[in-house]
Amino acid sequence: MTDIRRQLDQVVSNTLAQHIIPVKTAEGILVGSVLIISEGAVKHLSRNGEYLYKNISLNAVAVKLANLLARHRSSVLADRIYQADQEYAKWFTDSQLLLKKHHSAAKNKEYDRADTLWAKYIESKDRTIAAKNAVTGLTLF
């Protein structure tokens, strides 16, 4: 029983050591020495007033990057996560624009154009979901 308890304690302490608890401040959310600044729907990461990453779309990505940077982890993984987030943002924006155009075409009774835009929207939405799954997978490590 003692071995199991010791192993459990080790797993818990290793898991907690991997994540720095975010603290809300007047300027934003502080994760170690990295500040997450919200600006509308996007987040920026800064340290000592210098921006490290800008225009992050997903909250989970912002927290994960802040944790990685606060622990001085390899920037290779951080860069990969950031690029995946930017890919997600690109497809999300594209899908929303196509959906808006589809609604406009349908409202104007341009049914052929509306059908084409709907097909493009579905493709873009699928790519958005795939990009989000990719970035979410990277944040789990």
Q: What is the pLDDT along the chain (141 residues), one digit of tens a residue?
A: 566 666 655 655 554 456 788 899 999 999 988 999 999 999 999 999 899 999 999 999 999 999 999 987 667 899 999 999 999 999 999 999 999 999 999 999 999 999 999 999 999 999 999 999 999 999 987
Give the pLDDT score at 19: 73
**Range(s) of the domain holding residue 131:** 74-141
Domain boundary among 45, 73, 101: 73
> How many other C-beta atoms lie within 10 A of the C-beta of residue 80?
14
Q: What's phi and psi for 55, nearest 5 deg? A: 60, 50
- Considering the entire predicted model, what is its pTM? 0.80
User: Using CA atoms, how far apart are residues 43 and 102, in angstroms rounded to an integer?
Assistant: 29
Helix axes 75-107 and 59-70, enclosed angle (nearest 10) = 170
| Same-domain pairing of 25 and 51 | yes
Domain boundary among 23, 40, 73: 73
| Same-domain pairing of 69 and 98 | no
C-alpha distance from residue 133 to each of 97, 110, 118, 126 (Å): 21, 34, 22, 11
Domain boundary among 28, 54, 73: 73
